[in-house]
Amino acid sequence: MGSGMFIWPKRPPLPSSFAQGARHRDEGETMIRLEQTFMNFLLYHQERHNRSYHFLILMDALISAAKHIEHYYLTGALKGNLGLAGNVNVQGEDVLRMDQIAQEITVHYLRTSGRVIHAISEESEKIIQINAENGRYFVYFDPLDGSSNVPHGLPVGFLFGVAKRSLEGPEDGHLRAGKDYIAAGMFVIPTGTFTLALKDAGTWRFHIDETMDFVRPTRMILPEDAKEWELSFNAASRYTYAQKVQDWIERNQQKYVFRYLGSLAGDFHRILSNGGMFMYPAIVNHPNPKKNRPQGKLRLMYEAAVVSFMCREAGGAAVDETGTPILDVQPKEPHQRTALYVGSKPLVDDIARVLSG
């Protein structure tokens, strides 16, 4: 089949209740509640848009990886997997056992999918070469983001972005900006929630069921009602931010509730549901100048661009410290860092004016 177009066999039309992502109900009383599965949702999506089956194989690999990571994380405290692995990574940070486990699992499933050209992971300094000949996608991932939560077994994220090889002409394999992703998603582990954004087709949330299937597609649209909005940032660091960011916080903090988990996937999960803004600004006023992070802390390709892509598909926006849309930032190197302001458009537009002024 190669990279040619796959012709879908004729299938019966999707039941309208499933098509809308609603729960299925036969006429009359039902004894049990059955939900549309993620794979069923995606099959119909690919079919409707006349897309190939390759993306299904890739998504199946990512789902398998997430389920295995979830299992190891849930049982981690008992099996001694939540502590340090005893080595230090290229960023000079202590490596956690779970980081290594999650990395091994993800690379295994990406390899066996046969669909990935190369992958970029937070856990590997080098680009992971997988299938240069016949692969079709580039995958950028952080298999276990939110390291300070790991020793406590509290929520962490498996974040990923996907770009597609150039199907016309030669592939140069360059690093893709977020606007060129075709999909981005996050599993919030171990909560059993999965959120996936598909280019120009919305952001969808799924929940894990008793058979370990992700089910019940629910379209996520950032709420317009500012009454529910939340602000999320590390309050302990606020005096290390640029003065204009501190002033913005001062002006706005009374208007919204404040929530911070210290794990991007968990914090962004709340923003997608309730609206508001998550921010991880540049650190430029730290009392110990060695601890300044003028480029920001979060990684562009597998953290910031991933949530920014999901946010855009849910009607929101995201910018960096200069007020530039995150999705427009062309990465110069795989592990590039960035500041991040992501969430409801009116709030992000407002801070963008301050940042670019």
Residue ranges that bind ligand FBP, judged by CB under 6 A: 145-148, 234, 262-264, 267, 280, 297
- CB nearer ligand FBP, residue 215 or residue 245: 245
Report the distance separating Cα 215 and Cα 21, nearest Å. Answer: 9
CB of 247 to ligand FBP, least distance (A): 21
CB of 203 to ligand FBP, least distance (A): 19
- CB nearer ligand FBP, residue 120 or residue 198: 120
* Ordered DSSP codes for 35-79: --BHHHHHHHHHHHTT--SHHHHHHHHHHHHHHHHHHHHHTHHHH
Indicate the SS3 state at residue 259. coil
CB of 14 to ligand FBP, least distance (A): 36
* Ordered DSSP codes for 150-199: GGGT--EEEEEEEEE--SSS----PPPPGGGEEEEEEEEETTTEEEEEET
CB of 41 to ligand FBP, least distance (A): 27
- CB nearer ligand FBP, residue 31 or residue 236: 236
- CB nearer ligand FBP, residue 55 or residue 268: 268
Closest CA to 167 of 4, 348, 27, 278: 4
- CB nearer ligand FBP, residue 164 or residue 297: 297
CB of 287 to ligand FBP, least distance (A): 15
- CB nearer ligand FBP, residue 36 or residue 121: 121
Report the distance separating Cα 82 and Cα 236, nearest Å. Answer: 25
CB of 134 to ligand FBP, least distance (A): 32
